[in-house]
């Protein structure tokens, strides 16, 4: 479904590596609190490890490559050993560095009063921005950086690589997406329905619910082929339902899809949270034959891991506060959606 039609109308802001190799680690195993290394220093170590290089870590931390490199050397001197092997391809933890990282992650996450800039990515329509706004109000968040990408595969990989702290992604079982070993997930909604959008003058808009076979009588507007795995899922459902949709035009975003359905008799799939703007009708499909799974992706060793329950709570509240977007959403939320949120 549509990658493009689930794109919010608001454009999100999205925001080299040293070559010298240090000598082998020479210190005794590090113990938390054994030297004067602050929680900030621990987060520097974690950032370099997650980024795989000083240059990328410097961008995330908002500092220069030279400044971060010098700071990392001071930290290594304080700890008494080399934490990373530098090369022209990045930084890899030494055995000593691995030991420090294990304890550093635990200590950094447990330390109260620390704030962080949370990097959230994914594809969830207006809910991505809503989640960012709510997390920005948390005491532990110094800021929020949002990055939209319609391809859930890319978003999951970015979390695994440490380029995102958190991602909201959709997939469409049985066309499931792979989950790298480095990440964990919480399923927010296992069966969120996909609605359809059309002009209020459309014949199908005269009913509050549309049957799936009726869609075959009108042009279908969807994302360009190859954008996501949605078309594979849609074809699977259509095959089993004996329905043949006729896609004659594609749209790369929600604005384009709106223009097409307003000017023609076309119908387009949209997120359940899509707002019914003047002149447009959002309708549920009878029996909800098109469904998608909303997943929260994070790293268990990342800074967001201890706040997952809070993130889930914010998402649930965002959905509950969004009931005025359409009658179709309000009906689904009260009959099914509000009962299917995960236990925090």
Domain ranges for the chain, please list them.
16-114, 126-344
| Helices (H), ranges, 208-326 | 230-241, 254-263, 308-320
Measured CA to CA, the distance from residue 75 to residue 36 in angstroms comes to 9
DSSP character for 253? S
Q: If we measure between CA atoms, which residue out of 144, 161, 171 comes closest to residue 6?
A: 171
Q: pTM above the 0.75 mark? A: no
Burial of 179 (0-12, 13-18, 19+ CB in 10 A): middle
* Cβ atoms of 227 and 170 closer than 8 Å: no
Q: What pLDDT, on a 0 to 100 scale, did the predictor assign at position 279?
A: 95
Q: What pLDDT, on a 0 to 100 scale, did the predictor assign at position 11?
A: 34
Phi then psi for 167, rounded to 5 degrees?
Answer: -140, 140
CATH code: domain 126-344 is 3.40.190.290
Q: If we measure between CA atoms, which residue out of 20, 72, 73, 27 comes closest to residue 46?
A: 72
Taking 50 as the pLDDT cut, the residues of the chain under it are 3-4, 7-30, 32-35
Measured CA to CA, the distance from residue 133 to residue 7 in angstroms comes to 17
Q: What pLDDT, on a 0 to 100 scale, did the predictor assign at position 57?
A: 86
Would you state the torsion angle of the CA atoms of residues 156, 162, 168, 173, taken in this order, to the nearest 10 degrees? 20
Q: What pLDDT, on a 0 to 100 scale, did the predictor assign at position 109?
A: 59
* Per-residue CA distances from 3 to 106, 224, 257 (Å): 37, 9, 11
Is domain 16-114 annotated with CATH 1.10.3720.10? no
Q: What pLDDT, on a 0 to 100 scale, did the predictor assign at position 113?
A: 55
Q: What pLDDT, on a 0 to 100 scale, did the predictor assign at position 2?
A: 52
Q: What pLDDT, on a 0 to 100 scale, did the predictor assign at position 7?
A: 43
Cβ atoms < 10 Å from Cβ of 301: 18
Q: Quote the radius of gyration of the chain (alpha carbons, Å).
A: 23
* Cβ atoms of 302 and 182 closer than 8 Å: no
Measured CA to CA, the distance from residue 259 to residue 196 in angstroms comes to 14
Helix (H) or strand (E) holding 194: strand 184-199
């Amino acid at each position: 479904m549509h990658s493009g039609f689930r794109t919010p109308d608001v454009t999100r802001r999205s925001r080299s590596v040293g070559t010298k190799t240090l000598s082998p680690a020479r210190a005794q195993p590090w113990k938390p609190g054994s030297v004067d290394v602050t929680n900030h220093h621990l987060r520097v170590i974690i950032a370099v490890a997650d980024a795989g290089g000083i240059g990328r870590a410097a961008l995330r931390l908002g500092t220069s490559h030279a400044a971060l490199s010098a700071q990392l050397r001071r930290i290594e001197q304080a700890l008494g050993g080399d934490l990373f092997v530098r090369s022209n391809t990045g930084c890899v933890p030494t055995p000593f560095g691995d030991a420090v990282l294990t304890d550093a992650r635990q200590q950094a996450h447990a330390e109260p009063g620390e704030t962080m800039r949370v990097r959230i990515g994914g594809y969830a329509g207006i809910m991505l921005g809503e989640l960012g706004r709510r997390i920005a109000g948390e005491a532990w968040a110094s800021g929020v950086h949002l990055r939209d990408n319609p391809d859930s595969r890319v978003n999951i990989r970015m979390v695994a690589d440490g380029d995102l702290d958190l991602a909201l992604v959709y997939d469409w079982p049985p066309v499931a997406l792979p989950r790298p070993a480095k990440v964990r997930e919480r399923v927010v909604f296992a069966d969120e329905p996909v609605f359809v959008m059309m002009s209020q003058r459309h014949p199908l808009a005269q009913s509050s619910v549309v049957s799936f076979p009726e869609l075959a009588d009108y042009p279908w507007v969807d994302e360009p082929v190859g954008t996501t795995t949605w078309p594979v899922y849609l074809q699977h459902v259509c095959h089993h339902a004996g329905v043949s949709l006729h896609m004659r035009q594609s749209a790369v975003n929600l604005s384009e899809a709106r223009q097409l359905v307003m000017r023609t008799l076309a119908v387009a799939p949209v997120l359940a949270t899509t707002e019914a703007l003047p002149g447009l009708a959002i309708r549920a499909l009878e029996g909800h034959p098109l469904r998608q799974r909303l997943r929260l992706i994070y790293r268990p060793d990342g800074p967001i891991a201890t706040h997952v329950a809070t993130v889930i709570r914010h998402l649930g509240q965002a959905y509950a506060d969004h009931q005025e977007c359409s009658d179709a959403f309000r009906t689904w939320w009260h009959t099914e959606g509000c009962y299917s949120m995960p236990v925090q």
